[in-house]
Amino acid sequence: MSETLAFDNLVGEFQRVLDGLPDYRIGQNKSYAIKDAALGAFSVFFTQSPSFLAYQKTMKRAKGRSNAENIFGMKNIPSDNQTRQLLDPIASSFLFPMFGWVFNNLVATGQLDAFRTFDDNLLFAFDGTQYFSSKKIHCPNCSQKTASNGVTTYSHSVITPVVVTPGNSRVITLQPEFITPQDGHEKQDCEQAAIKRWVKVHAEQYASQKVTISADDLHCKQPFCELLLDNDFNFVLVCKPTSHKTLYDKIDSLATSGTLSQLSVHRQNKRFVEVFTYRYANQVPLRAGEDALLVNWCEVTVTKGRDGEVLYHNAFATNHLITDKTVVPIVNLLGRTHWKIENENNNVLKNRGYHLEHNFGHGKQHLSSFLLSLNLLAFLFHTVLELMDEKYQLLREELSARRTFFNDIRALLRYLLFESWEHLLDFMLEQLEVLVPP
């Protein structure tokens, strides 16, 4: 394991990031440090234990120390209400350097080599998800929608980009971008605007890595494609006929004239033959007008070999050159991999212990987005440990059910005092009689 990304170093770097959090308190009453509040909230997400801090307060009184101190480096444990009050005024962007630090070290240690796909690109998948909704609770950063009956619903949504690759259930979490009212704008914020902001802010860090951006049809528009190209990103975007009339008129014209390229591939699965029919064309207009951006287009239709029943169909616009040799990997390694952001990121965060949609605290300013960012970092830390830490890997193999793994973590940290995270892993491996290779 690279020591750079060992747990203690992850937490150490995280503490350095937290040292930069602003303290907006006025007056002399500063019994609890902002850093401790942030570490405490993070520890709850990392252990997936809502009562973790309460247990650690009890342990501190009984034993003079606690796991919050030994594992996460907390000095004092504020109450839940105090934590929310301390963190509410702080913008989530103060946490973003931690995402970049992890990414850079995954690159440096070669861990992202396994995530590279077509033409040695990293695939960044983008999608928006809602994580809070209420008809009563709201803050200035809420989006709002008023129904015809006059009832207003307040919500928070976020763009959660991740690095994905075919055949790998892990995803690498990147900095989020929150869909929230923007200063100086009268219109509601939206997913398209949020993704554009992300590109403008973070392109300098990531574009040098050969990155292809993947997103759904909502973003397959000329301004976004031009923004990506201007920032040295490649793209593969879902491209539907209903929103790209000019492009599909051109495709129909090429098909009618017999000049639309086509390739068929037969694959035998366990029950029947699947026929993959690929069609593609290069340099077709994305929209009407003389200034239309020319993109490359490809489509795949998967059918049953005998009866022709359509099993899957989708189409994509990209800047990658499409040929008989590249159309299959462009479609299958880039285009069709977009679904992983929903299945292996959003769904995991919502249904596998991170409780993305739970209201851990809404606040009056930034609390909701700050806590969600801590939750994403907790998910990222576990992913890094799965990739890098041999002892963690052995435990996950032995305790293959995610729920069992976290149940054991919660119980042990409640009742036993450990000197460090490494001590906890060693104890678990010993009790489970799992041998650690020399």
Q: Yes or no: say if 402 and 43 are a contact pair by the CB < 8 Å rule.
A: no
Residue of 165, 180, 235 lying closest to 203 (CA atoms): 235
Write down the residue that tokens 């009339």 correspond to. 245
Kindly report the backbone phi and psi dihedral angles of residue 188, in degrees, each rounded to the nearest multiple of 5, phi listed first: -65, 145
Token pair listed for 124: 């960044």
Q: Are strands 261-268 and 294-304 parallel, antiparallel or unpaired?
A: unpaired
| Measured distance CA(335)–CA(214) in Å, rounded | 7
Spatial contact of 281 and 296, defined as CB atoms under 8 Å apart: yes
Helix (H, G, I), strand (E, B) or coil at 153: strand
Which amino acid appears at position 223 of this protein?
P
Long-range contacts for 131-137 (Cβ within 8 Å, ≥24 apart)?
131/156, 131/157, 131/158, 131/356, 131/357, 131/368, 131/372, 132/156, 132/357, 132/359, 132/362, 132/368, 134/359, 134/362, 137/359, 137/362
- pLDDT (0 to 100) of residue 351: 66
Opening angle at CA 379, ends 377 and 381, nearest 5: 70
Sign of CA dihedral 131, 133, 137, 143: positive
Taking a C-beta distance cutoff of 8 angstroms, is the pair 19, 73 a contact?
no
| pLDDT (0 to 100) of residue 332 | 93
| Contact by Cβ (8 Å): 314, 335 | yes
Q: Which two tokens stand for residue 87?
A: 């963190």
Q: Which H or E element spans position 385? A: helix 367-388
CA gyration radius, the chain: 24
What does the pLDDT read at residue 412? 97
**Cβ atoms within 10 Å, residue 275:** 17
Distance CA 337, CA 425 (A): 34
Q: How many CB atoms lie within 10 A of CB 214?
A: 28
CB 208 within 8 A of CB 233: no
Residue by residue, pLDDT tens for the chain (438 residues) are 468 899 999 999 999 999 999 999 887 677 899 999 999 999 999 999 999 999 999 999 999 999 999 999 999 999 999 999 999 999 999 999 999 999 999 999 999 999 999 999 999 999 999 888 889 998 888 888 888 888 999 888 999 999 999 988 899 999 999 999 876 566 778 899 999 999 999 999 998 999 999 999 999 999 999 999 999 999 999 999 999 999 999 999 999 999 999 999 998 888 889 999 999 999 999 999 999 999 999 999 999 877 889 999 999 999 999 999 999 999 999 999 888 766 666 677 776 666 776 778 888 999 999 999 999 999 999 999 999 999 999 999 999 999 999 999 999 999 999 999 999 999 999 999 999 888
Termini Cα distance of the chain: 13
The tokens of 326 are what? 């590249």
Q: What's the sign of the alpha-carbon dihedral 22, 205, 371, 76? A: negative
Report CA torsion sign: 179, 134, 348, 382: positive
For CA atoms 9, 10, 15, 17, give the dihedral sign.
positive
